[in-house]
Amino acid sequence: MTHSNVIHPLCVGLFAGPVDQDNQSAGTATYVSAMFEYLILGSGVPILVDTGTLSEQSASERQHRVLHRPANMDPVRVLEPFGLTAGDIGIVVNTHLHWDHCSGNDRFPGARILVQRAEVAHAIDPLAEHRRFYDKISGITPAWLAAWDRVQAVDGDLRIAPGVTLIALPGHSPGSQGVLVETANGRFLIAGDNVNTYHDWINRQPPRVIVSEEAWNQSVRRIEMLECEVIPSHDLELVDHPPFGA
């Protein structure tokens, strides 16, 4: 069956290096990576994979990261060129629940939100060294919980729309998942943070943050068996990249 799905990578922020506590002008440094959400059109209902973070301020205060987000990189405004509003998104998929992939969930009021059950459990009580990535910080309520009434926990692989399938890929986090998209021009996998950049994928370089190297290696083999083109999560090459599958 031929599918008409198309994937649009949408940049919702640019990262400079870690904040230098002694030199707050680090914000002018060259960007080192980018934050994305991925809009999948063609399966009937608009699907959004990941929803970015709240704001430049929250990235700085909670994560000590310098994020550049001009108004045209707002997670809702990036939908405007497609004639879409926030309410048009029917499904949100979170590849995982780290702060930079799910904090905008509440801004899409018509969407059910699909997350692996293992990820929900880990977000509630993460490994000590991973607490910050989940905004598990004293006095802070993680932003994704603002939409928790619409979260649906998923166990393993699941077809969610014609030609669109969730693939469980633990490694970077216990409940990381990818989204396999069949298009008229091949199969593509939105890989989440298991694959940060094209360079990492070519070199089979694991992400810096990982809960299980064994699980990550198994997920890599799983991805290889899918025989698809891999779309990484934070590669600057994806800024203004043409759509996949068009």
Residues that bind Zn ion (CB under 5 A): 98, 193
- What is the rounded distance in angstroms from the CA atom of residue 4 to the CA atom of residue 114? 22
Which of 163, 98, 102 is CA-nearest to residue 132?
Answer: 98
Measured from the CB atom, the residue of 3 and 98 that comes closer to Zn ion is: 98
- Minimum CB–partner distance for residue 194 and Zn ion (Å): 9
Which of 120, 153, 175, 141 is CA-nearest to residue 62?
Answer: 141
Measured from the CB atom, the residue of 121 and 184 that comes closer to Zn ion is: 121
- Minimum CB–partner distance for residue 182 and Zn ion (Å): 25
Q: What angle do CA 151, 152, 155 make, to 5 degrees?
A: 135
Measured from the CB atom, the residue of 42 and 171 that comes closer to Zn ion is: 171
- Minimum CB–partner distance for residue 110 and Zn ion (Å): 26
Question: By the 8 A CB rule, do 112 and 92 touch?
Answer: yes
What distances in angstroms separate CA 183 from CA 50, 69, 237, one per listed residue? 20, 31, 21
- Minimum CB–partner distance for residue 217 and Zn ion (Å): 18
Measured from the CB atom, the residue of 135 and 182 that comes closer to Zn ion is: 135
